[in-house]
């Protein structure tokens, strides 16, 4: 008679262990999801530009900030490092500043800063088109292009 309650007791213990393992797995997965997608560790909080000589750094920062503004799918923030599409960011900056030869975005985890390093094209020569209209005066340069 003693064998029956012992088996039932073991079965209940196994069911409790299974339940606790499933519950622990669900909680750990939820915390991991929150830690990766919503913690401040991976959020881009600031944008800084370096090595700019003739390019307006404020305009590059405003392009980057507008690129990072908003949410994806209405839930996930666009300023999250995992969702940063560097190619699209580089294309958005190069669309406005054709003079840039290289754009290198890097992320600093300690400060939450996206650093954008710029390398500008070096001109071999300048080609200037002169305006000879009487209002401007003869010989005044209107437009100069890099060659």
pLDDT in tens, 8-57: 888 889 999 999 999 999 999 999 988 887 777 888 889 999 888 888 88
Which pTM value belongs to this model? Answer: 0.65
In this structure, what token pair is assigned to residue 77?
A: 């923030």
* Per-residue pLDDT reduced to its tens digit, 94-139: 998 888 889 999 988 888 889 999 998 887 877 777 666 555 555 5
Half-sphere exposure of 111 (CA within 13 A, CB side): 9
Q: How would you classify the pairing of strands 76-77 and 71-72?
A: antiparallel
Q: How far apart are CA 111 and CA 44, in angstroms?
A: 9
């Amino acid at each position: 008679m003693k064998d029956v309650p012992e088996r039932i007791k073991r079965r209940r213990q196994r069911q409790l262990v299974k339940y606790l393992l499933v519950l622990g797995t669900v909680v750990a997965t939820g915390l991991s999801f929150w830690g990766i997608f919503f913690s401040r560790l991976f959020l881009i909080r600031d944008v800084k530009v370096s090595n700019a000589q003739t390019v307006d750094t404020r305009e590059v920062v405003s392009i980057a900030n507008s690129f990072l503004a908003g949410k994806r799918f209405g839930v996930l923030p666009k300023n999250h490092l995992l969702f940063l599409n560097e190619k699209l960011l580089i294309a958005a900056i190069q669309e406005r500043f054709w003079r840039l030869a290289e754009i290198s975005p890097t992320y600093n985890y300690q400060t939450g800063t996206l650093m954008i390093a710029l390398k500008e094209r070096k001109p071999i020569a300048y080609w200037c088109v002169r305006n000879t209209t009487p209002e401007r005066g003869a010989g005044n340069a209107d437009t100069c292009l890099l060659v």
